[in-house]
Structure formats: structure tokens, C-alpha cells
């Protein structure tokens, strides 16, 4: 089983930006955590991060025929990107949305998730553990469909 984990803009700045919201752990620590979870679960993983919408779309499209599912944290593009929504719909892979912070308790504009419309489930406000929950969820549904 192979999953793509796709992260959007500013996640590369974890540990630096808005520590009161996102904590002090770095992006490198997040990737290490994801790799540890996947190794434990015998899941191959490809991690990707970009601050550029088109690069995220390209990554999602590249998952077609290569991955069994996608974990995505579109970050700020969550609330603006129809292109990312369309890419997720185009590849038609099981997808799960993750947000480190609880976007439901933040600014009103963060209440809308375009990407979430193409996702089977969302894990919000759980920090790094949200990625683990997303991976475990995808593993379960993919195994059930096999």
C-alpha cells in the first residue's frame, strides 16, 4: 500500500510561525513522525510540500496510478483552491484532509474547505496525531476495498 501525504503553503515554516497555534515542532519532525507511523503500519509513503498551488495540483495528479490514497493538508489553499478540489476529484483516490489547528474555532473564512469536498474524512485540531489518524483511516478503508 502506498500513500501520498501532500502539504500546502507555510507548513515548511512549522516551529517558526504562530507557535501559539501550530506549536514548536518543525516540518522535519512532522515528516519524521509520518514516516515512523507508515513504517510501523507497513505503508509506503511519499511526502510532498509546496507553497505553490500548481505544484500541489501536479503532485496530486502524479498520484494517479501510483498511490492507493492521499492525505492532504492544503493549508491556506483549503479555503481558496477549486484547482486542488478538481485534482482530487480527477484522480478519484480515497483522500483524507488534515489540519493541525482546529479551523472550526478560527476565523470565519477558515470554515470553508474546498478540498474537503473531495475527502472522505477530516481530522482537525489534533496536531501531528491527525496525520496518524488519517493514515490509519485510509489503511483500513483501502484494505476493506481490496
Q: What's the number of domains the chain is made of?
A: 1
* CATH code for the domain in which residue 138 is found: 3.40.50.9100
Residue-wise pLDDT tens digits, 85-100: 999 999 999 999 999 9
Provide the residue range defining the domain that includes 137.
2-145
pLDDT < 70 positions in the chain: 106-107, 109-110
Q: Give the model's pLDDT for residue 22.
A: 73
Residue-wise pLDDT tens digits, 54-80: 999 999 999 999 999 999 999 999 989
Q: What is the pTM of this model?
A: 0.93
The Cα-based distances of 115 to 28, 48, 100, 111 in angstroms read 24, 16, 15, 12
Q: State the SS3 of the chain.
A: CEEEEEECCCHHHCCCCCHHHHCCCCHHHHHHHHHHHHHHCCCEEEEEECCCHHHHHHHHHHCCCCCCEEEEECHHHHHCCHHHHHHHHHHCCCEEEEECCCHHHCCHHHHCCCHHHHCCEEEECCCCHHHHHHHHHHHHHHHHHC
Q: Give the model's pLDDT for residue 110.
A: 65
Please give the positions annotated as active site: 22, 99
Amino acid at each position: 500500500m502506498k500513500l501520498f501525504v501532500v502539504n500546502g503553503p507555510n507548513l515548511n515554516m512549522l516551529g517558526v510561525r504562530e507557535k501559539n497555534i501550530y506549536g514548536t515542532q518543525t516540518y522535519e519532525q512532522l515528516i519524521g513522525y509520518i514516516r515512523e507511523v507508515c513504517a510501523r503500519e507497513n505503508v509506503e509513503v511519499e511526502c510532498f510540500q509546496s507553497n505553490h498551488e500548481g505544484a500541489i495540483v501536479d503532485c496530486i495528479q502524479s498520484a494517479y496510478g501510483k498511490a492507493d490514497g492521499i492525505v492532504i493538508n492544503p493549508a491556506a489553499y483549503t479555503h481558496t483552491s477549486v484547482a486542488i478540489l478538481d485534482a482530487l476529484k480527477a484522480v478519484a483516490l480515497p483522500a483524507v484532509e488534515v489540519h493541525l489547528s482546529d479551523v472550526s474555532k478560527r476565523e470565519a473564512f477558515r470554515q470553508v474547505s474546498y478540498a474537503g469536498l473531495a475527502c472522505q474524512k477530516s481530522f482537525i485540531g489534533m496536531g501531528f496525531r491527525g496525520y496518524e489518524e488519517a493514515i490509519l483511516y485510509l489503511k483500513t478503508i483501502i484494505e476493506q476495498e481490496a
